[in-house]
Structure 1
Amino acid sequence: MEPVIIGSEVKQNPLFVIIAIILGGVIWGLPGLILFVPFFAILKIFFDHSTHLKPVGYLMGYESGISQKKWMQKIKGIFKKD
């Protein structure tokens, strides 16, 4: 089970989207359910631009679509039947 709609729009790992929704609901209730996903996206951007926190940003989300496509093409090339 994965939040495909929200996770793909904000380029976040589906696990972190679920964590954001649960944490937001626990802390702020209904407004937290809505606000914590964009808040986690802001944190991801901050982590991506920080040298020491870049690995955390990598875990929280995806790289740009271009590099993701290249990565997927490499994987498909490995398992491609000749």
Structure 2
Amino acid sequence: MEEPIEQLPQADWVDQDLLTRELAGTLLDDEIAAERGRIERYDSDVGGEDIVMSRADMVRRVAAMEAIRDGYQAARQQKGETR
């Protein structure tokens, strides 16, 4: 026999963790910097356990993250927001 599921009195949206465009952009900046660091270590033969892709894949990943981040920044500028 299944146990009854207790329903919380709050709406579903109360429990959601919302990620703002500004926060997403900041997180992307951090990851872009980390990936560039991995590329630099790859290029200087230092290596590391966190290097799991080819250099070409890392460069493509940085370019994709930068494009997404730039899209967030452009959307904010159109709305008149500043950073």
Q: Same fold (TM over 0.5)?
A: no
TM-score by length of 1: 0.30
Determine which structure has the larger helix proportion and give its number: 1
TM-score (norm 2): 0.30
- Structure of higher CA gyration radius: 2
